[in-house]
A and B are shown apart, each in its own frame.
Chain A
Amino acid sequence: MNDMTIPNPDQATRVPPPAPLGMLAELTHRCPLSCPYCSNPVELDKRSGELDTETWKRVFSEAAAMGVLHLHLSGGEPTARKDIVELTAHAVKVGLYTNLITSGIGVAREKLEELADAGLDHVQLSIQDALPDNADKIAGLKGAHEKKRVFAGWVLELGLPLTINAVIHRGNIENIEALVSMALEFGARRVEIAHSQYYGWALENRDMLMPTREQVMRAAATVDRLREELEGKLVIDAVVPDYYARRPKPCVGGWGKQSLNVTPQGKVLPCHAAETIEHLQFDYVTEKSLSEIWAHGSAFEAYRGTSWMKEPCTSCPRKEIDFGGCRCQALAITGDPRNADPACSLSPFHAKITSLAMKSAAKEGTDYIYRRFGARPGAARVEITRNNAPV
């Protein structure tokens, strides 16, 4: 009868999960830019399949009721949705903190003013580089950088707080200090120096994006110095490049623990790249309530907590700190999503990820494969616009 007192780990994981803090609403995959590091999946959702206004509003109401605090209105370019003001107003009404994640392209000043009037809390604007020509090359759109500068001016005029997000890779890693200066010049209160993560489209471009280890070390030192110099003026948040790491990142703060994503078609994901784990079954907001999906959806339960883990994670004292890192990266590099993220030096695949990084970094050039609707990697590569074509 002794074993009756031993807690069953399966039952322990049945305790309802705490409410998520944040939700990423990918309102559309349409986007005027075609950045080579795009984190969206290789297969984009078509406009015709996007959720309608009423469904998004219901999802926002459900999110607020279950305890979501921050709502990230994202995409693609979220302002490509004609109902963006109505959606934002509704999110504000139900008490969500609304963050618009935008390219700043194709957004009229009047539209931004309507969003400000609707109660939008914050704007996050992407910048591709401090050098306008290179920024336009990375974005795959001539004139994009100048439009972003103008847009940033409107954000300030309207009294909205601004964060600049810069995805860092080989093509701009030497310009981090200039990027931070530009963020200050644009009037940002916060800047994200986010090293490219290699999922989705970015994985297709890894050979064109990966910096060297020396570049990454220098970049980290620059960020540390600037953070100290600019304390009280500008908050600098950094996302580390994990191919050169020793310990994995606690991906999305733990699977099914802090955040969730809703795709343009209403599929609910534990993380941006979760669809790359092909055996997972995802639920749709059109079929079930958001709270039911969060609490009981099989994709959320698959890697929530620690009971799914294998060694070296199972006996690791850090298993509640980094949750074994990223499931998608474990799958992509090791072939098994239950393995430790190979970014961890304890993973038997760690040498492999380091060697992949060094091989990619040793490649010359930035001959990006640009993201376009309908563009596919692999066989259809010939249809894809390259950067030697006019942009």
Chain B
Amino acid sequence: MYDAPLRKTDVEANEIKISAKDVQVYYGENHAIKDVSVELQDKTVTAFIGPSGCGKSTFLRCLNRMNDTIDICRVEGLISLDGEDIYDKRVDPVQLRAKVGMVFQKPNPFPKSIYDNVAYGPRIHGLAKTKADLDEIVEKALRRGAIWNEVKDRLHAPGTGLSGGQQQRLCIARAVATEPEVLLMDEPCSALDPIATAQVEELIDELRTNYSVVIVTHSMQQAARVSQKTAFFHLGHLVEYGETSQIFTNPVDSRTESYITGRIG
């Protein structure tokens, strides 16, 4: 069993997975993201930090085009995944989201059984040919979500009946079941208690072996614990981006320093 402190997982992390160039986001008249350019690496946990309303969640939702579901939202600039522009007209957001999965702030299991929750993604993407395949995928995903042992005896109980922490791990299992390449996490621990948070953090670190993980968090401790790279957002600008250790110990920008030391936020 995995039983070591965080950041033990050792992976090669250098390839650029997602790159953004001069991204602008508008909500109606409101200019929410201004001139953001960033390159996110594969097999790396990147944390987005910053005060409330700074645009970090908005930017995260641009990365798999979840903003498409909001009528008044408009994105400009270039965001590419493995060198392909994801806002290209020919790109099908459905295919994109299969590659770039997402976990949300509040656990949102579907009102279905645990099994059906996890099997939903593989089913719609046709990942399993037989029932046995599907069973295997579900089990693997639940194991990777570190929740298999808790639910293996009640796979057909409703997912909404689990505790908050279990629900969130179920949602992570659901997201990894579709074999995404990038996993976006929007404050995945904000609705959880400390014990559940620790479990989820452990999980995030582990997921790094296969995925590029981008996590939005309010907690600087969390960012420090789980991420290798950190981006600091303020008022819609990307203020600073670099190695987590460098950002937390030796920030370049004075605003970053103020935030880290708790003077703004």
Whether chain B is bound by chain A comes out as no
Partner-A contacts on B (CB < 8 A)? none
